[in-house]
Structure 1
Amino acid sequence: MIEVWAPRAARVRLRRPGQGDVEMTADAGGRWHADAALAPGDRYGFVLGDADDLRPDPRSRRQPDGVHAASAWFDPADFAWTDAGWTGRQLAGGLVYELHIGTFTPEGTLDAAAGKLDHLVALGVSHIELLPVNGFNGTHNWGYDGVLWYTVQEDYGGPAAYQRFVDAAHAAGLAVIQDVVYNHLGPSGNYLPEFGPYLREGHSNTWGSSVNLDEPEVRAYILDNARQWLVDFHVDGLRLDAVHALHESAEQPVHILQQLAETADALSAHQGRPLTLIAESDLNDPVMFLPREAGGYGLAAQWSDDWHHAVHVALTGETSGYYADFADPQALVKTWTRGFYHDGTFSSFRGRDHGTTIPDAAATWHLVTFAQDHDQIGNRAAGDRLSQMLSPARLAVAAVLTLTAPGTPMLFMGEEWGANTPWQFFTSHPEPELAAATDAGRKREFAQMGWDESLVPSPNDPQTFERSRLDWAEADAGAHGELLALYRRLAALRRARPQLTDPAWPSGTVEEGPGGLRYTLGRGDARVLVNLSTQPWEVPALSGEEVWLSTAPPEVPAASGVHVIAADAAIVVGPSIRSVAVKGADADAPARLP
């Protein structure tokens, strides 16, 4: 039986190319049915009304010829999984690695990405977070222009390759989090409004028309999509894009985010493994991760842009746009000790008070913290990474701050070796008018922010995409290899020392040094000492305290009972304990810490 929800159509035909059309019959809810069967790979689609144009299935799992063409029948149950013993990875204590399939490897496919899993294991990663993989028009895109949420982009290998990737990740001990976009649809190939009221009339967000969350069938479309990833594709969690753009009426008895959390919790209990939902939200509201009994939605975590902004300003000194508020010397300390910088305080960028305080009882790991991510790099005019802005010494400090932060740390692909390749905003719109509009809009946006528009590459230029591919030849070479070794040591240290995964909110102070700031950042009875001044910094050692890790040797020997931190350097200190074996450390690194 083939069915499709199409309440806006007065007539629906099932089209199977080369086999003729089959008239479908509708029930009272606008769902059309046809007594037909499809075999794996069979092409099909729907013809609406008296037109003759084929439309792909809104729940299509495979689009071999693109989002404008016929769907291909795909049965996820045909895959022979080998992960029956997989029990998952909890987010608490984890290390997330964000990557884009199309630029992670030269081939840009899921199978090629699976060939790099050993690198992620050696790095100490626990969770791989994939940028959106659902079908979009063209051959390359960030993924946020998707129009068929149930598909896997054919250029990446399609749904079968996706299953192989997840199966291989689980075999390597790695959880997979899939980035999904439920707040808007892309500009090309979105035929859903022809079927039914998928979009909310008269409401829009930054990217176009809002999704109609007041329609029960649309909510079911989203919830079923989440189940597909978590059940049919065995993924371990979802990253929910821009949830602040999910608009629903106050009459809805349960917020869609709570429904998603309840769905994931029920599946987790049934499958016996953690299923993690992470929100991207700019609301600075702990409602995202507070438990439902405390009035929250019950998601596992949310991204923390405040943490990124505070670290970025501390390391680079850049204070334009939304970075202005974070020029406050206390910004890094506040995000370290309280999570949100804006927790009801005035935001000059927004022109109003913003945010809500996180309760003391909330665990720190509910915030995903990062010094770089796809947005904060790619939405710069030139897509430049910290490696294009900072010295090797400050890149090492960024590594320490990221891997010792109170939240759940996340790395963006290539960050671990200071990749020289940029990460730029790229598209491959086949429609010239859409490509031109995207290019003009991009330049206009940066002109308003005071950026030189000549620095902004054309998103549709194929070279913009090619420049954004990682260069794996860099990873082990010279300073890149040294930084990679540091990231591996830090990840191992974080696993070995429970202070660095303590969920309690820590302490922190900042002081003015010559030419820069000096931070004393607590993690239980351990400390992270960061010297961004121009002179060495002497800090009294606490009783029984030793250096666990240093990014640079002191310029002068430390006196007894004193730690000396070189300029532009950081050290991690804590109670002296017996060195412990480091599970998963790379072969070239010392087998024991510190």
Structure 2
Amino acid sequence: MNERQFGPELTKDGTLFRLWAPAAKRVDLLLDKPHAMTRGDGGWFTAGISGAGAGTRYKFRIDDEVDVPDPASAFQPDDVFGPSEVIDHAAYPWRAKDWRGRPWQEAVVLETHVGTFTKEGTYRGMIDKLDHLVETGITALELMPLADFAGSRGWGYDGVLLYAPDSAYGRPEDLKALIDEAHRRGLMVMLDVVYNHFGPEGNYLGRYAPNFFTDAHTPWGSAIDYRVPEVRSFAIGNALHWLRDYRFDGLRLDAVNTIVEAGEVPILNDISRAAGKLAGETGRHIHLVLENSDNRVTLLDANEDPLRGKYRGQWNDDYHHVWHVMMTGEAQGYYGDYQTSPQRDLAKALASGFVYQGEVSEFWGGKRRGERSGKLPPTTFINFLQNHDQIGNRPFGDRLESIADPAAVEAALAVTLIAPMTPMLFMGEEWGSKVPFPFFCDFKGDLANAVRKGRRSEYEWAYAKYGDEVPDPLDKATFDSAVLDWEACNVEPGRTRLRLVRDLLAVRRREIAPRLADSSFGEAYATDDGFVTANWRMGDGKTLHLLANLSNRDLAISPGEIKGTLIWGNELKGTVPPSKIKAWAVSWRIG
């Protein structure tokens, strides 16, 4: 099936409008007046309108009962309940015409939320910060979901019109300008997309295309039925829309373990193959990555280029969790699975990627979780100390900087940013921002009350202890509290932290990235008192060595543990040969 069948198509003299509405008896196209649409095979309705070009606003009327936007709308200037607007994607005057992307081995990712990244909260507002990212050593800007969601503020994971970038941040040409300016500076741009559910407000698909959904449910709503060819085409076309029409360099697919499928070729395989075909046709580097709590190794291969069914990488929650337990001592929720020896769990992550590679997870219902991952390239694993979930799914949205020893955080950064896995930071982490990132949304009425009730139920202990001090996700002040404090990176302690991150990423760019192709995992060792060593075989045949003391006291070492030529760190003390490694010290060597 033609993956571009959804949405309006500009023609030589106008626009062809179309809607898949198999449950509708009649559909009218609403322009200045209603136009009856012709029903064709398979529940498709079409109407060709001469003179209707880019900028035309329209809706569909279903069975004279309800007016709905186009589910493949390219833009919603008046939010999800307003009319859709025809966009001519071919008309944008791209400036970075020769941009073909960057290889995955060069990826250093910064996750951002457009609405809180700057005080302007817009696509164009982000452009002024791109030089900061380049100077820091970031190579890939990742945007949290943009698919149009109800209201003027939200995380983006409740999108209902998946082809339309949310108007709260600007127009489509503004988003293209951001991507174009990023490319002109050598920055990749990636987008978070959601294919496991639609949001709860502004989604009319169940009325005229109930075939979109199954009887199964995800934690956030009805499961999408990818056994249906049209539904499968809708998702594949959406992925290609972002990669082709906006020139995103890659996509991060949210919570794919909640996609419900029975039989068929998995939709994840088809999306990967479609992206790989586009990469082959255009000569571009296109990167797809996953969030997948199942730790399914069979979906992953960082070296498959172009993509032919697999994914470049996966967000490594295991890596985050062991560090968080080590630095905070917290044991609630999924942190309970990492209590026995987080230091040894960290060594496992350093030696083979995931911590859970088939072991039983109590948090996930006493089931075995994960597959053996040590044979994958290290760059398959996207490692981080913070992200939107790990910060925002706390009652106050407090960052690691507010709850951990700064010396421990700096040691964790020194490991994460140089290790041969793919590093990711959350916006502001590069200067140690303490600005919270609480959950926020802009629903109305009963849905807003349901969200409040759900948060109170999930964080009952926090409401019992702190009462009204817990941020209300519907209050605009909660959103406002999350706007980044850019001025903090120019004063202490932000200035010193930013210098550290830039130094680490400079070492990565100079010593690590050129050696990542064909690199592989080696061995790692840790003791419960915080002594950690690890090594990796790099693509040029040399060995990268890590030596670290992840504790708040000096530890004894033997001369045999010091290998290779120092590329970062100054951890040793005592006579020659040195006899101790300092508290929270990290060093990297190549030999």
Measure, in 2, the Cα distance between the counterparts of 1:83 and 1:9.
44
Give 1:453 shift.
6.5
1:559 aligns with 2:575: yes
Answer yes or no: is the 8 Å Cα contact 2:250–2:288 preserved in 1.
yes
Measure, in 1, the Cα distance between the counterparts of 2:588 and 2:374.
25
Q: For 2:168, which of 138, 155, 159 is the aligned residue?
A: 155
Q: Which residue of 2 aligns with 1:190?
A: 203
1:289 aligns with 2:300: yes
Q: For 2:224, which of 201, 211, 224 is the aligned residue?
A: 211
Q: Which residue of 2 aligns with 1:39?
A: 53
Q: For 1:243, which of 251, 256, 260 is the aligned residue?
A: 256
Measure, in 2, the Cα distance between the counterparts of 1:273 and 1:355.
35
Measure, in 2, the Cα distance between the counterparts of 1:168 and 1:487.
24
Q: Which residue of 2 aligns with 1:580?
A: none
For 1:566, give the aligned amino acid. K
Give 1:498 shift.
3.3
Q: For 2:30, which of 15, 25, 30 is the aligned residue?
A: 15
1:96 aligns with 2:109: yes
Q: Which residue of 2 aligns with 1:410?
A: 424
Q: Which residue of 1 aligns with 2:7?
A: none
Answer yes or no: is the 8 Å Cα contact 1:61–1:73 preserved in 2.
yes
Answer yes or no: is the 8 Å Cα contact 1:307–1:340 preserved in 2.
yes
For 1:102, give the aligned amino acid. G
- Give SS of 2:215's match: strand
Give 1:450 shift.
10
Give 1:463 shift.
1.0
Q: For 1:362, which of 364, 376, 380 is the aligned residue?
A: 376
Q: For 1:548, which of 540, 557, 567 is the aligned residue?
A: 567
- Give SS of 2:455's match: helix
1:227 aligns with 2:227: no
1:314 aligns with 2:333: no
- Give SS of 1:490's match: helix
1:255 aligns with 2:271: no
- Give SS of 1:35's match: strand
Q: For 1:2, which of 5, 13, 17 is the aligned residue?
A: 17
- Give SS of 1:144's match: coil
- Give SS of 2:141's match: strand
Note the alpha carbon deviations across 1:231-261, whole angstroms, 9 max, x for none. 11111111101101111222x1x11000001
Give the count of matched residue pairs: 562
Q: Which moved more, 1:382-391 or 1:498-507?
A: 498-507
Q: Which residue of 1 aligns with 2:312?
A: 300
Q: Which moved more, 1:446-455 or 1:27-36?
A: 446-455
Answer yes or no: is the 8 Å Cα contact 2:212–2:228 preserved in 1.
no
Q: For 2:215, which of 182, 202, 225 is the aligned residue?
A: 202
Note the alpha carbon deviations across 1:126-177, whole angstroms, 9 max, x for none. 1111100111111100001111000011111121111111111110101111
Measure, in 2, the Cα distance between the counterparts of 1:203 and 1:69.
30
- Give SS of 2:41's match: coil
Unmatched 5+ stretches in structure 1: 576-594
For 1:325, give the aligned amino acid. D
- Give SS of 1:36's match: strand
Give 1:535 shift.
2.1
Measure, in 2, the Cα distance between the counterparts of 1:465 and 1:571.
39
Measure, in 2, the Cα distance between the counterparts of 1:545 and 1:450.
53
**Could you tell me the TM-score, scaled by structure 1's length?**
0.90
Unmatched 5+ stretches in structure 2: 1-15, 538-542
Measure, in 2, the Cα distance between the counterparts of 1:316 and 1:570.
19
Please provide the CA RMSD for this pair. Answer: 2.2
1:400 aligns with 2:410: no
Measure, in 2, the Cα distance between the counterparts of 1:218 and 1:534.
54
Q: For 2:553, which of 516, 532, 535 is the aligned residue?
A: 535
Matches within 5 A, 1:48-197: 48-51=62-65, 53-197=66-210
Q: How many percent identity over aligned positions? A: 36
Q: Which residue of 2 aligns with 1:584?
A: none
Q: Which residue of 2 aligns with 1:327?
A: 339
Q: Which residue of 2 aligns with 1:484?
A: 498
Measure, in 2, the Cα distance between the counterparts of 1:547 and 1:300.
30
Measure, in 2, the Cα distance between the counterparts of 1:114 and 1:197.
41
- Give SS of 2:207's match: helix
- Give SS of 1:177's match: strand
Measure, in 2, the Cα distance between the counterparts of 1:87 and 1:34.
37
Measure, in 2, the Cα distance between the counterparts of 1:548 and 1:292.
30
Measure, in 1, the Cα distance between the counterparts of 2:557 and 2:182.
43
Give 1:569 shift.
3.0
Relative to 1, partners in 2 of residues 1:350 and 1:292: Cα closer, same or farther, differing over 3 Å?
same
Answer yes or no: is the 8 Å Cα contact 1:197–1:215 preserved in 2.
no
Q: For 2:402, which of 388, 396, 400 is the aligned residue?
A: 388
Answer yes or no: is the 8 Å Cα contact 1:122–1:488 preserved in 2.
yes
Note the alpha carbon deviations across 1:318-365, whole angstroms, 9 max, x for none. 222211221232111111112111111121212324233335432111
Measure, in 2, the Cα distance between the counterparts of 1:466 and 1:76.
33
For 1:549, give the aligned amino acid. W
For 1:39, give the aligned amino acid. G
Give 1:198 shift.
4.9
1:573 aligns with 2:589: yes
Measure, in 1, the Cα distance between the counterparts of 2:528 and 2:45.
69
Give 1:448 shift.
7.6
Q: For 2:285, which of 274, 292, 295 is the aligned residue?
A: 274
Note the alpha carbon deviations across 1:183-221, whole angstroms, 9 max, x for none. 111111011222312542321110011112121111111
Relative to 1, partners in 2 of residues 1:353 and 1:194: Cα closer, same or farther, differing over 3 Å?
closer
Measure, in 1, the Cα distance between the counterparts of 2:97 and 2:423.
28
Measure, in 2, the Cα distance between the counterparts of 1:479 and 1:24.
63
For 2:583, give the aligned amino acid. A
Measure, in 1, the Cα distance between the counterparts of 2:182 and 2:211.
34
Give 1:476 shift.
2.0
Give 1:568 shift.
2.6
**Could you tell me the TM-score, scaled by structure 2's length?**
0.91
Answer yes or no: is the 8 Å Cα contact 1:134–1:146 preserved in 2.
yes
- Give SS of 2:520's match: coil
Give 1:527 shift.
2.6
Give 1:445 shift.
1.2
Measure, in 2, the Cα distance between the counterparts of 1:28 and 1:179.
34
Measure, in 1, the Cα distance between the counterparts of 2:322 and 2:462.
19
Q: Which moved more, 1:171-180 or 1:317-326?
A: 317-326
Measure, in 2, the Cα distance between the counterparts of 1:472 and 1:449.
29
Measure, in 2, the Cα distance between the counterparts of 1:160 and 1:494.
34
Measure, in 2, the Cα distance between the counterparts of 1:470 and 1:337.
35
